[in-house]
């Protein structure tokens, strides 16, 4: 997310297509779609809209499910609260409130990520990513209480604390992969242009995607034996991928296991990186010598084996900060299956991304919201949601009636 907290325009609940790709977020909402567009997947954006399913939240930044068959949605509020949404109603009491432990003074600090253990129904474990009072990143495990709608705030077990030299570029996401390991996104440590060159330093966890085994009951984590840098004296063994600036949101395709990493850019480029299922890890995505496919002129020299993004867009197009989404795998919108959706935080523009018949990646404008898109979310059925950071709304992607 960007480093300022602009005010949303009046929220809209219909997906719209911008007349251009350069509106400022404070402008009036753009016009409604008037003509269909050619987009990957042979679907028509005119067929879809956003239906508001909740409101009144305080800076929502993530939504997920527990995988326990309950149908509940869990919404992360940046100041340090997790709320439950079930059957269209927000529970009056929070699932978890750790506001006293969370530092959200900067736009990129706070309670930022949530992941439920694949065996949550049996062990009651879930994991969070938050900024502590000292400004450092904390990865912690909590456990549900005897009340399934309330976590035990005293059950916190800290797995990892990462020193953050600056208040921005905290990353924030974490998710379990198809392999059962926990993946954690960490930004480069902040300021501008990665002054400590953390992203290209394998002895630093900053600017990386981590992969760890969190199944030990005592809360200690282990290193998966097939991590790409396991056993090397000159690298942190937790590292799965590197050369990232601020991977605010990443996700796995639940059908294929492919990994999409949306990496927030510096001044020019926002990018989406792709890691196919079956990768052995170790990909270097190029930051700081590369911002997307462009050379920054910063040391060190660009790595010859840097993995290029599969999609990028410029700030000149009206963007400011990419918000990664998901590959749609639900049942309600069959024409969208297999299509990755992502957005820009400031403009609210939504893009679709998919391979064409020749196997080439194609990005197309899908629509535009009237709010600041902090995150996408996915429910147990694979249906997708968007979160309005400042308007406090949760919106589901649905077919037009």
Residue 34 lies in a domain: no
* Structural domain of 351: 45-399
End-to-end CA distance of the chain: 33
pLDDT at 5: 40
pLDDT at 29 over 90: no
Neighbours of 148 (CB within 10 A): 15
Neighbours of 191 (CB within 10 A): 13
E-only strand ranges, 221-266:
239-242, 249-252, 259-263
Examine residue 349 and state whether it is found in any structural domain, yes or no. yes
Indicate if the pLDDT at residue 19 is higher than 70.
Answer: no
Using alpha carbons, select from 137, 251, 250, 262 the residue that is nearest to residue 198: 137
CATH number for position 185 = 2.120.10.30
**What is residue 8's predicted lDDT score, i.e. its pLDDT?**
43
Each residue of 118-157: pLDDT tens digit? 999 999 999 999 999 999 999 999 999 999 999 999 999 9
Residue 22 above 60 pLDDT? no
Share of the chain above pLDDT 70, in %: 90
Q: Report if residue 1 sits inside a domain.
A: no
Give the pLDDT mean for 22-44: 38
The domain tally of the chain equals 1
Both tokens assigned to 379: 């429910």
CB 227 within 8 A of CB 237: yes
The residue with tokens 């299922």 is 277
DSSP track, 56-70: --SSEEEEEE-SSSS
Cβ atoms within 10 Å of 304's Cβ, excluding its own: 6
What is the band of 105 on the pLDDT scale with cuts at 50, 70, 90?
A: confident
Question: Does the residue 285 lie in any domain?
Answer: yes
Spell out the residues 6+ positions from residue 110 whose beta carbon is closer than 8 angstroms to its own.
59, 61, 78, 79, 80, 102, 103, 104, 130, 131
Cα dihedral 342, 251, 360, 48 in deg (nearest 10): -40
- Mean pLDDT estimate for the chain: 90
Cis peptide before 123 (omega within 30 of 0): no
Which helix H or strand E contains 339, and what residues bound it?
none
pLDDT tier, 219 (very low <50, low <70, confident <90, very high otherwise): confident
Lowest mean pLDDT among 23-27, 128-132, 156-160, 182-186: 23-27
Q: Is 220 part of any domain? A: yes
Domain-located, residue 15 = no
Q: What is the pLDDT of residues 40-86, one digit of tens each?
A: 445 777 789 999 999 999 999 999 999 999 999 999 999 999 999 99
Give yes or no for residue 24 having a pLDDT over 60. no
Q: Which residues pair with 368 in a beta bridge?
A: 16, 349
Domain membership of residue 22 (yes or no) is: no
Q: Report how far residue 96's alpha carbon sits from residue 76's, in angstroms, rounded to the nearest whole number.
A: 9
pTM, two decimal places: 0.91
182-186 vs 174-176, strand pairing mode: antiparallel
Tell me, yes or no, whether 14 lies in a domain: no
């Amino acid at each position: 997310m960007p480093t300022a907290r602009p005010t949303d325009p009046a929220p809209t609940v219909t997906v719209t297509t911008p007349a251009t790709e350069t509106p400022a977020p404070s402008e009036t909402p753009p016009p409604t779609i008037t003509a269909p567009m050619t987009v990957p997947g042979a679907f028509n954006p005119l067929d879809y809209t956003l239906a508001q399913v909740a409101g009144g939240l305080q800076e929502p930044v993530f939504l997920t499910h527990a995988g326990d068959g309950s149908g509940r949605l869990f919404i992360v509020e940046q100041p340090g609260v997790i709320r439950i949404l079930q059957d269209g109603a927000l529970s009056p009491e929070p699932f978890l409130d750790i506001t006293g432990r969370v530092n959200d003074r900067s736009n990129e600090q706070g309670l930022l990520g949530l992941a439920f253990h694949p065996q949550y129904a049996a062990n009651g474990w879930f994991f969070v990513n938050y900024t502590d009072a000292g400004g450092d990143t904390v990865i912690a495990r909590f456990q549900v209480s005897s009340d399934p709608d309330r976590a035990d705030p005293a059950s916190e077990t800290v797995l990892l604390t990462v020193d953050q030299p600056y208040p921005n570029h905290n990353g924030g996401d974490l998710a379990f992969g198809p392999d059962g390991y926990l993946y954690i996104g960490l930004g480069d440590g902040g300021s501008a242009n990665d002054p400590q060159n953390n992203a290209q330093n394998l002895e630093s966890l900053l600017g990386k995607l981590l992969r760890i085994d969190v199944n030990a009951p005592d809360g200690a984590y282990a290193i998966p034996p097939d991590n790409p840098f396991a056993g090397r004296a000159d690298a942190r063994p937790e590292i799965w991928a590197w050369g990232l600036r601020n991977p605010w949101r990443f996700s796995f395709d639940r059908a294929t296991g492919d990994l999409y990493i949306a990496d927030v850019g510096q001044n020019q480029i926002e990018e989406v990186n792709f890691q196919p299922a079956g990768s052995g890890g170790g990909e270097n995505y190029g930051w700081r010598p590369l911002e997307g496919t462009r050379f920054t002129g910063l040391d060190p020299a660009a790595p010859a084996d840097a993995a290029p993004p599969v999609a990028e867009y410029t700030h000149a197009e009206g963007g400011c900060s990419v918000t990664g989404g998901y590959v749609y795998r639900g049942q309600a919108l069959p024409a969208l299956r297999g299509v990755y959706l992502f957005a820009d935080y400031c403009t609210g523009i939504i893009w679709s991304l998919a391979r064409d018949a020749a196997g080439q990646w194609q990005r197309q404008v899908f629509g535009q919201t009237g709010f600041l898109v902090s995150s996408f979310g996915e429910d147990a059925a694979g249906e997708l949601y968007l979160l309005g950071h400042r308007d406090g709304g949760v919106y589901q992607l649905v077919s037009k009636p």
